[in-house]
Structure 1
Amino acid sequence: MPTIRVTVPKNAWTKGEKADIVTTLTDGLNTVAGQSGKGDIKQYINVHIEETSEGGYAMGGTVVG
């Protein structure tokens, strides 16, 4: 089962924006799967959006927040 994991700062995205992220990532992966001969795998794709507190993630080796 393909799984996409996204980590974002807490409260950075609204519920609706997160729904858009899920849809866009799911459709994108499904398109690649179709183009590579794997068929329509949309129903098997899981997207997990994890919110992290301030200081709970890093970019380029530097803690953010």
Structure 2
Amino acid sequence: MGDFYRVPADNRDLNYAKYFSEGEQDVSKIEDYHSHNTEQQGVEGLKKLISTLPLIRKEVFGEDVMQYPY
């Protein structure tokens, strides 16, 4: 067949039963996270949120990012 590298098929058991037919049933009742069930930020909320990031604090406010133990 020539000089080809053959990758064998992954025949492992992925054990999906543990997640679909067994396990905690309450997990399936939780509503998925999406844009309609979260708090949407306006311009001021977004400014407040990103002003907590070390890079923004350094570049915009000139603060030393090493003083924030993130």
TM class, shorter-chain normalised? Answer: under 0.3
* Length-normalised TM-score, structure 1: 0.24
Greater percentage in strand: 1
Q: Which has the larger radius of gyration?
A: 2
Higher relative contact order (CA 8 A, sep 6+): 1
